[in-house]
Structures are given as C-alpha cells and as structure tokens.
Amino acid sequence: MGSGLSRVEEVPDYAMEVQMKAEVPVEDVIATAQAAGRAILQIYNSEASTWEVQMKSDASPLTRADREANAVICQALQNVSPHIPIISEENKMLPHSMRQKFQYYWLVDPLDGTKEFLKRNGQFTVNIALMSSNTPVLGVVDVPCQGKTYWAVKGKGAWLRTSDGQQRIQAAEFGFEDKGLKVVASASHLNKETEEFIQLFNSPEFVQVGSSLKLLMIAEGQAHIYPRLAPTCEWDTAAADIIVREAGGAVLQAGKQDNKGNPLQDWKEELVKEVPVVYNKEDVLNPYFVVFGKRRGATAAR
C-alpha cells in the first residue's frame, strides 16, 4: 500500500470565452431618454437657486439636473440590460485596459449642453448611445424643451418622434459649390479655425446652436455642414453620430487636438481622408471633426 499521500498536480489556468445574445428594446431606451428629459425639465423650471451648480475639474459646470438625469438613465439601463456596462460623463471613468475589452457598452451624456441649461435657452439634450466596439449602433437624443426625440438603429434609418407621431428624417443633399449653404456651429466655441472653414464656402448662412442639436440639424436637413474644430468628448457625439449616419450624412475626423482645442494635425489634410469618427479610445477626447449632410456624389460613411 502507498503512504496515503496523493501527488498534487498544478491546475492549468483555463479561460473560457463566452458569447451572450440578448435583445435591447429600442422603445425602452427611448422611454429612458424621455424620462431623463422630464427630470431635467422639472429642475430647469424651478428656481435657479436650487440647481446646485458646481464646477468640475475641467472647469465645466455640473448641476443637480446632470446628476438626477444620470441616476434615471443608469438605473433604467441596468434594468433593461444588466449585462451591458455604462460609460457616462457623470460616472467614474473606467480604465482603457478594461473598456477596450467591451463588446457592447452604453455611452451616455445625461445633460449635453449644461452651459445652455444655465443660460436657460433650451438648447440642451439627453444623449444615449449603444456602442459596438468603436461604433454607435443605436442612438437616442431627447430634446426636452422641444418635445422631440430623435433615434436611429444601424441599418434601420433615422427617426423623429413628437406628440404628433413619428417620421423618418433625411439629411439635405448639397454640393460644395452651392451658394448659401447653411453652416451650423457651436454657440460657445467659435474659433479662428472654424471661421477659416466657413470662409471656404460661397455666401454661407451661419447659425450658432448649442449641444448635439447641431448634429440633429444636419440629420433633419435643417443645415448642411457642422464643423467642430474645438474640444468635445465621445459622449457628446455618439448618439447623434449614428442618427446623422442613418439619415445619409457623415461625421468625419479632421485631425487630432489637445485638450485645449489646439490642433495637432492639419485639419484640411486629415478631413480629405474621409475617416469616420471612432470611439472607445484611450483618450475620450474627440478629434476635430466635420459633420456633412448628404454630399452630392458621395457615399455616407458607415
């Protein structure tokens, strides 16, 4: 007989890849954005002294409306899809080493346009995007002060919902040589690069608007071009990005920038490469980009 002792073998470090399939009800995501919009409006219509305004480390404002909308969205998305992680402007940022492994994730800006909220001009939105790797595949943007909700699913078109019903939207077709093109730009970030860009066109009509409303104007055919040659982050654009794409437009990179908006590349050289904006980068700062409607003779970037 043996000694009664058994030989202990080293256990291999096995790993198993598991793929999950689950449905995300689009109507639930739309309802979530609208619920966040109602929470924002309740605060927006109250006394400004109750807004609890703070300044974040990047000197951007944060209000009670941002926080409450974020709580509404995160709770609802966890209920709809507990297996999908959430990246929100108002949540602690996860390290890229973790984020880069996400197959799907939510990308959220609970109140895009906080500066416009503080000005009480109504130009703010709720942005929710479902991302697949580095690309949005579902986007919902609620515009609380207008009673409008825009949404899109990859391959299914772009849509506008109001109290009167729902309709499909399309970007306006144009050529670069056309006279009087409508160019929309930020109400808060009009710099020399943007002015230089606008001067390239023949008697353009210029409009300044806040938040992701600028991308929505392109998607709905109310404007032709939106140059963003100033800082934005991924959560500012992802939801409206797919709405533009599904409406027949494009959101194209125009060169890297630093966090103060200074160009690190020649925007003209980068723009002609026709590279769509991508997401889930190590640095969540977007590059410069330009949003186009339906360019005559061009194929919308997908």
Residues at the annotated binding site for Mg(2+)? Answer: 89, 109, 111-112, 236
Q: How many angstroms separate the most distant Cα atoms in the chain? A: 99
Contact yes or no for 237/246 (Cβ under 8 A): no
Q: Can you tell me the distance from the alpha carbon of 160 to that of 162, in angstroms, rounded to the nearest whole number? A: 7
Check residue 225 and give left, alpha or beta (phi > 0: left; psi -120 to 50: alpha).
beta
Q: Can you tell me the distance from the alpha carbon of 67 to that of 227, in angstroms, rounded to the nearest whole number? A: 29
Contact yes or no for 136/144 (Cβ under 8 A): no
Q: Can you tell me the distance from the alpha carbon of 149 to that of 60, in angstroms, rounded to the nearest whole number? A: 26
- H or E element that contains 142: strand 135-143
- Binding region: 89, 109, 111-112, 236
Three-state secondary-structure class, residue 149: strand
